Amino acid sequence: MNELMSHTTDMGQAEMFSKDWYNEYFRRAVESRAHSRFCEAVYGRDLCQHGMMDIEEMEFLATLLKPGEKVLEVGCSNGYISEYLHGQSGCDILGLDYADAAIAQAQARTRETASLNFRCADLIRDELPDGDYDTILAIDSIYFMGDYNKTLAKLNARLKPGGRMLIAAFQAREDDEPETILQPGHTRMDKALQTLGFTYVQHDFTRNIREHWIKNYQYSHTLQAEFTAEGNAFLCEARMAENGWFKDHAERGTLVRFLYVIEHNPALA
Ligand SMILES: C[S@@+](CC[C@H](N)C(=O)[O-])C[C@H]1O[C@@H](n2cnc3c(N)ncnc32)[C@H](O)[C@@H]1O
């Protein structure tokens, strides 16, 4: 169990971050005015986010994508982020997620756009779709795919020679862990990349993630009554279940974030 999963609690009937839980989340979020206001305030733009990438990081990410390139996005949720990146860069995106309610929303909105496609897939149990991708993109979804080493090898196997992975991930430090774990080159993701012999660069979005979690905490409280009034206390509670832990790390300076740009490694089987 990774650190994102391990500090959160069971929420009602569906376990937090399960497929049923995410379906419930995105069924409600897409209709919710309070959720839209929350995303606008916290991320700087409403793309129905559930990750940690603010609009500044998103705009930077869009500059890395090229017109016409073939992108596989893992953990795309209901596809508003994919649509935004597609619009900014002109790349061709296939988005995967196991939340079928979220995928249905994305498909319904984009069925006229040939270069934007969405499919249900369980990133742990299912094979990734065939096809050589120029880029594989994972925005705050890598935590859900199990062991980093296995996941990186699985993603690498679907890249074209010369392709790359773009992986956005946080690292927190608990009291019993060394301070170095927060430094570039020393996070858990760095260790996995180095063990597997990847060549990569990492862009630092630590300031963004710290500000993100402080705002996430503040606006979940500011907008709580609005969420409740529209019958969506679930969405607010979902945010509150994790934002206290993250805000604490943000304030203590024990939370960092990097966008890793990782070259295809042909030497990996
Ligand atoms: C933290 S959210 C991030 C969503 C989006 N990328 C963003 O940044 O807002 C994680 C996403 O991964 C998906 N997910 C989690 N576990 C998964 C799995 N085993 N297979 C496929 N998708 C999964 C969830 O449904 C959710 O959409």
Segment 139-154, tens digit of pLDDT? 999 999 999 999 999 9
Could you tell me if residue 157 is inside a domain? yes
- The residue nearest atom 16 of ligand 1, judged by CA position, is 144
Domain extent, residue 112, equals: 3-262
Could you tell me if residue 268 is inside a domain? no
Q: What is the mean pLDDT of residues 44-68?
A: 98
Could you tell me if residue 267 is inside a domain? no
Query: What CA–CA distance (Å, rounded) separates 197 from 267?
Result: 9
Could you tell me if residue 200 is inside a domain? yes
The whole-number pLDDT of residue 239 equals 98
Q: Is the pLDDT at 169 greater than 70, yes or no?
A: yes
The answer, yes or no, to whether any atom of ligand 1 lies below 6 A from the CB of 52, is: no
Ligand 1 atom having least distance to the Cα of 49 = 9
Could you tell me if residue 269 is inside a domain? no
Q: Is the pLDDT at 11 greater than 60, yes or no?
A: no
Could you tell me if residue 38 is inside a domain? yes
The answer, yes or no, to whether any atom of ligand 1 lies below 6 A from the CB of 78, is: no
Instruction: Kindly report the three-state secondary structure assignment for every residue of 185-223.
Output: CCCHHHHHHHHCCCCEEEEECHHHHHHHHHHHHHHHHHC
Could you tell me if residue 206 is inside a domain? yes
The whole-number pLDDT of residue 1 equals 38
Ligand 1 atom having least distance to the Cα of 52 = 8
Number of compact structural domains in the chain? 1
Could you tell me if residue 132 is inside a domain? yes
pLDDT-derived band at 95 (thresholds 50, 70, 90) equals very high
Q: Is the pLDDT at 2 greater than 60, yes or no?
A: no
Query: What CA–CA distance (Å, rounded) separates 225 from 248?
Result: 23
CATH code of residue 185: 3.40.50.150
Q: Is the pLDDT at 25 greater than 80, yes or no?
A: yes
Rounded distance from Cα 191 to ligand 1 centre (Å): 23
